[in-house]
Structure 1
Amino acid sequence: MNTKKQLFSSLFILLGAVLLIYGMIAENTNVYIKIVGIIVLMFGLYSSTRVWVEDNKQDNEKDDEI
């Protein structure tokens, strides 16, 4: 289990969510803030799912040995 990668991914998810919420709450926000928020959020989700898949492959290999 790689906790550094999970922390890195979680920070990207949190940053993307904050940017999107800020874009919805503030009245005169630039559209690019919302676009960057979506990109950062999607990158964080993508990288976190890659970490989860790598962790589950190790679990499946242990189950196959039994």
Structure 2
Amino acid sequence: MSTKKQLFSTLLILIGGGLLLYTMISENAIVYFKIAGIVILMFGLFRATRVWVDDNKTTREDEQ
């Protein structure tokens, strides 16, 4: 299990979520913060699912 990759992915998800929450709360939020928050959040989710899939690989022989 790759804990450093998982930690980095979790950090990206939290930063992206934090940016999105900030733009929802703030009245003078810049649109680019929303875009950056979504991009960072989606990149973190992408990395997290890749780490999860790599850690949980099964072969067809294991399933039979």
TM-score, normalisation: structure 1? 0.88
Which residue number in structure 1 is paired with residue 4 of structure 2?
A: 4
Q: Which has the higher helix share?
A: 1
Pairs within 5 Å for 1:46-57? 46-57=46-57
Structure 1: runs of 5 or more not aligned: none
Residue 13 (structure 1) shift:
0.1
Counterpart-to-counterpart distance in 2, 1:2 and 1:28: 39
Matched pairs, number:
61
Residue 9 of structure 1: how far off its partner (Å): 0.1
> One-letter code of the match for 1:4?
K
> Which segments of structure 1 move beyond 2 Å, counting only runs of 4 or more?
none
Runs of at least 5 residues in structure 2 that lack an aligned partner in the other structure: none
Please report the TM-score for the alignment, with normalisation by the length of structure 2: 0.91
